[in-house]
Each structure stands twice: as structure tokens, then as C-alpha cells.
Structure 1
């Protein structure tokens, strides 16, 4: 019997718990089988006390949460309001938690956003929710930075958008060079003025100073 056939047989294993949330956006049964196989591959007993809930419930639920960025239904509603000016809107210190697509290990850090509105602004809390939604998927930091910038420019029809992310990658800290470093990526949409760029960097510097 081939390995593929064995996996197909497992797909009908009635001992697997029934998926309880079909709207979560992932295939819970496949997630359960996959995690169980990984545990077996590293020499663990998936059915020992302490691990049963890991593959049956905890990891599938975690994957459903951490893949929300792949589902439009999970995107926050970016309700806008009429802007009273075209001054730069700056939001700094936004937490970022994402998964490296190369090793499926987390990277985490801080995002800073600025945009020049073209008639409309969005509630500041929506910027935080938007970054969180974009971050919840397998990605690279460089790609995530660009996706947030381009996404906000489209959502808000903004004339200019600036995004900066500084993050630490667990795939470096926990394996490989096993050293914790910070990676900074930037993305710019439109043509911010030199004054707007300086205001953005000054706001980041103030936030960095407050967190040290």
C-alpha cells in the first residue's frame, strides 16, 4: 500500500473529532491529520496525555486564527469619514505578529503607518485591525510591508502612504544563526513630501524612545 493511499484511508478515520466550526476557513480534519503526523515524525506519541488536545483542537484552532489574512471575510470593515484637512495621518507602535513562510515560525515587532488622505480618513483603531489582518498568514516581512502599504492606499484612496516595520524573526533566533536581530523594511506609495517623510520618522523616533 502506498503512502498516499494510507493518507487517503486516514481521511475517513471516524476516530477524528468532527470539525466544529465549518466557517473557520481551514480544513480541520486535514490539520488534525497533519499535526498528528508531525508529532509522530519527531518521535512523540500523539495520544499521550498533554498532546491529544494539541492535534485534535489547539493547533487547528490556532491555524484558523493565524491564517485569517488569507480570507477576505475576516478583513476589517474600513469605514471612512470625511477628512477636515489633507494633513498627514500618523499611527505608530502597532504590534505585528506573523508567520515566516519559509519555516512557519513567528516573527514579531512593530509597524508604523502614515498616510495623506484624499478626502476621507479611517478610524485609528481600524489601522491596527488592518495590520493585524494582513499579518495573519504565511508571508515574508518585505512582502507584508508592501501589502499593507498598497492595501491601505487602495482602501483609503490615499494620495501617499508610508509603512515601516521592524521585527525579530524566530527562524533566526531559534535556529540557523540563533541570534536575535531586528530587520526593518519600508514601503512608500505615492510621493510624500520631504516634510511628511521627516514628520513620519520623527514620530517613529518618539515612539521608539518611549518604549526603551
Structure 2
């Protein structure tokens, strides 16, 4: 017997309502919802959209507070290349890419896994990249109260790639800086480190 099991739990009334909504959408675009490949799609889509927007029900500040430790380290801490997947609030199409985050502790550090979890919480909401960058930045700054925080996000947007201007290779970069990262020399050190491959 396996010693570990992962399962997802869904609110059944919400799932049933969304399932009907997705059935109506599929019918509206001309699909046969009794077709073998489609018959379970409304339920799968209902569960998928709940998962992809589950960040609305989570408290990112509590995630950080659950693993904060007193520590005298006061140099830059960088977590780079954090994969992120979100839904654009304008078309509900995905945008995806990487976040690079740094902070300079002021007597407290946070468990490293909590930073990517904060990214996931904010990404699993209907978003725009600009707000996503700001949300992550302010959450870390307000909760951890470090000497400085930096966030850079690089992402590709399916609303630009699949429809609209249909540009396949464009990447959108957003950034935010607080505290010591507002100083050009600290910011440049961070930008240099996230763009280099340290061997």
C-alpha cells in the first residue's frame, strides 16, 4: 500500500453549476456534448477552472508567516526561474513564464519553498501580469518586512499568440523593486545574477 496519496477536493454544488455552464458553452459553439471525446469535458473543465482560480481562496501572507525564522543573514537571497501559469482576465487564456524574486532579510528569513507558493497563489487567479508582479512584491514586502524586495516576471501570453496580433515570439517583462533594490547598484547586481548561469 502506498504511504502517500494526493487527492483534490471540489465543492460539489459549484462543480455541478460550472459543469452545466460549460455544457452550454460547448453547445453554443456547435459541439455535440454526447460525443465520446466530449461527454466528460464539462466536468473536467469545471474542475480545471476551479483549480486554476484556487488562489482566490488562499492567503499568501499566511503561507509566508508559517515559515518565518529569526536569522542574522543580511545579504541577497534570490529564487529565480520560478515557473508560473496564470489566466489573463481579459480573455481567460493562459499566460506563462518565469518569476525571479529576491529579498534582503532584516533579521528574518522565510523557507525557500514559500516564495514559489506565493507565486502560485497569485498566479492562480484571473490576472494581468502587471498586477501579478505587484501582488507578489507587496505580499513579500508587507509580510517579511525585509530591507528590500525585487520581482521580475517574463511571460508569454496566449491572447497575443493565438488570437489578436498573433505574435508567436513576444515576451512581456514586468518588474518591481522596494527598499534597497531601488538603489541602482543593488538592482543591477540582482539583474546580473538572474541573467547569468552560475556554474
Which TM-score bucket, shorter chain as reference? 0.7 to 0.9
Tell whether 2:187 aligns with 1:197. yes
For 2:165 and 2:87, locate their aligned partners in 1 and report how far apart those are by CA, in whole Å: 18
Tell whether 2:136 aligns with 1:148. yes
The aligned counterpart of 2:49 is 63
Alignment match of 2:166 (pick from 173, 178, 198):
178
Contact 1:75-1:133 at 8 Å conserved across structures:
no
**Partner SS for 1:55:** helix
Alignment match of 2:25 (pick from 38, 48, 54):
38
Deviations 1:143-174 (A, max 9, x none): 10000000111221222111000100000100
The aligned counterpart of 1:77 is 63
Tell whether 2:102 aligns with 1:118. no
How far off is 1:33 after superposition? 1.4
Deviations 1:103-150 (A, max 9, x none): 000000110001111211111111111111110010100010000000
Deviations 1:35-66 (A, max 9, x none): 1111011100112111111102x111111211
**Partner SS for 2:49:** helix
TM-score normalised per structure 2 = 0.86
The aligned counterpart of 1:8 is none
**Unpaired runs of at least 5, structure 2:** 1-8
Contact 1:92-1:203 at 8 Å conserved across structures:
no
For 1:74 and 1:148, locate their aligned partners in 2 and report how far apart those are by CA, in whole Å: 9
For 1:74 and 1:61, locate their aligned partners in 2 and report how far apart those are by CA, in whole Å: 22
RMSD between superposed Cα atoms in Å = 2.1
Contact 1:88-1:196 at 8 Å conserved across structures:
no
Tell whether 2:84 aligns with 1:96. yes
TM-score normalised per structure 1 = 0.81
How far off is 1:91 after superposition? 1.1
Contact 2:10-2:47 at 8 Å conserved across structures:
no
Structure with larger Rg: 1
**Unpaired runs of at least 5, structure 1:** 1-19
Contact 1:110-1:166 at 8 Å conserved across structures:
yes
Contact 1:115-1:159 at 8 Å conserved across structures:
yes
**Partner SS for 2:195:** helix
